[in-house]
Amino acid sequence: MENKLTIYNTLSRKKELFEPLNPPFVGLYVCGPTVYGDAHLGHARPGITFDLLFRYLKYLGYRVRYVRNITDVGHLVNDEDDGEDKIAKKAKLEQLEPMEVVQLYTNRYHKNMEQLNTLPPSIEPHASGHIIEQQELIKTLIDKGYAYESEGNIYFDVERYSKKYHYGILSGRKIDELLVNTRQLSGQEEKRNSVDFALWKKATPEHIMRWPSPWGVGFPGWHLECSCMSQKYLGNTFDIHGGGLDLQFPHHECEIAQSTAAQGHPAVRYWMHNNMVTINGQKMGKSLGNFITLDQLFAGNNAVLEQAYSPMTVRFFILQAHYRSPLDFSNEALKAAEKGYERLMSAIVQLHKLKASNENTVDVKTLRDNCFNAMNDDLNTPILIAHLFDGVRMINSIAAGSEKIDAENLQTLTELFDSFVFDILGLKGETDSSASNQALGKVIDAMMNVRKAARANKDWATSDKIRDELKNAGIQIKDTKDGYEWELE
Ligand SMILES: [Zn+2]
């Protein structure tokens, strides 16, 4: 029963039984972040979706190699072949080395992903560390006639590719319409067709991220890195490629074209795409300027936030929606998620206190089947969570004495909750909840009022003692012109 996992394959547009190429091994590649800014709610979704998949596959006994890249070069500002490199632009704005920008935001991304309790990938390759592999793939594509050089740039010949293969196989776009409707960007007249995409770009004199190549000094195109790095670490054919729905076209379509043209067959067997996070129905994104960073969310530090939301509240919020459904941000939805998460956690505390009885009046086996069926149905976490809440009601009834559970069923129920809640959904207990933080704030306010009264009486000894005691407790007080601020060291 546990090994009946079906996943929705974007390529076939239907749910398919998941059968890895070389069981028990599974190769999973996911497009990672372009590291030029803080991670926002839109990054949390693929992070958590594919962490859920990684965790569940491991739970089912597979040995998963999970590769998630860091895009540190080649991703241009308007996601097309035109404009500045996103990293280089940020470096210029902040007067940093490009690799300083990359390191800074990679560190911050890792911190946020750890707060969300996502497991680190098995390999995290950087695009800039695979320039030679990317040049090799370009050479192969030129040799096979699918790429051409034009004024120091190398483009992929989409029309030529379409004569033999199906460009648009993933996204459903039609090549004839693309050929007619794609606008030629100014300065790109050297392309044979406007749909052709860059494999290598000539570096202009002011472009700081640059490498020598047989075609002159330049840098690789964005789509190329994922074809190279996925196949380098997972093989010419591998099981699952994931990413956000917004990457389906052109990014993933181009990846398919590159790999297929180079080796005569596609590389990926199952394509999985998570849906977007919206805010008031609009896609949340850095380019749209309507995003909420994860740090802001965890601190409650953004005008649209009515309070802080803990990392586990955010994780639970994301898991309450199916990964292929859109997820709309609202304070109401997050507050409901916070309540739901806390109810689940307190039920687990309750569960570990339950005593087995000689009788049994609850149906744990059906509950267990329901949980596996939900996960096996394309990772249907909202249904899984609904079943876990059936379990919560069961726990509460047993605790209240209106139902009874025997030792064997109690052990199954405990294992069920521990596996699904902690190992698979990846939730964990939080001591630093917003409620305890608020209580701490009140205690500090009370002590600071005593200190203020002491200072008014010129009682410096008491005033200093309060400051020192707070400091010993790890609470840093900073006097400001309006009063004070505190933070935990
Ligand atoms: Zn990618």
What is the fold, at CATH topology level, of the domain defined by 6-274?
A: Rossmann fold (3.40.50)
488: CA distance to ligand 1 center in Å?
38
Known binder of ligand: residue 226? yes
> Domain residues of the chain, as ranges?
6-274, 279-424, 434-488
d(C-alpha 274, C-alpha 263), whole Å: 28
328: CA distance to ligand 1 center in Å?
24
pTM: 0.86
Known binder of ligand: residue 251? yes
Residues of the chain with pLDDT under 70: 1-3, 77-82, 183-188, 432-438, 480-482, 489
| pLDDT confidence of residue 483 | 73
395: CA distance to ligand 1 center in Å?
44
* Beta strand 153-156 pairing with 147-150: antiparallel
| pLDDT confidence of residue 1 | 42
- CATH 1.10.730 assigned to domain 279-424? The reply is yes
Q: How big is the CA angle at 68 (ends 333 and 49), to the nearest 5 degrees?
A: 25
The residue with tokens 């030679």 is: 132
230: CA distance to ligand 1 center in Å?
9
Between the alpha carbon of residue 331 and those of residues 41, 209, 303, 307, 392, the distances in Å are 13, 41, 11, 8, 25
* Beta strand 238-244 pairing with 25-30: parallel
| pLDDT confidence of residue 232 | 98
Any idea of the CA torsion for 375, 381, 384, 389, to the nearest 10 degrees? 160
d(C-alpha 351, C-alpha 113), whole Å: 29
d(C-alpha 290, C-alpha 286), whole Å: 7
| Segment 116-164, tens digit of pLDDT | 999 999 999 999 999 999 999 999 999 999 999 999 999 999 999 999 9
| pLDDT confidence of residue 184 | 64
| Residues 6+ positions from 439 with CB-CB distance below 8 Å | none
Known binder of ligand: residue 31? yes
Residue 410's Cβ-side half-sphere holds a number of Cα atoms within 13 Å equal to 18
Known binder of ligand: residue 255? yes
d(C-alpha 192, C-alpha 183), whole Å: 13
Known binder of ligand: residue 371? no
Q: Which amino acid is at 321?
A: A
d(C-alpha 76, C-alpha 357), whole Å: 64
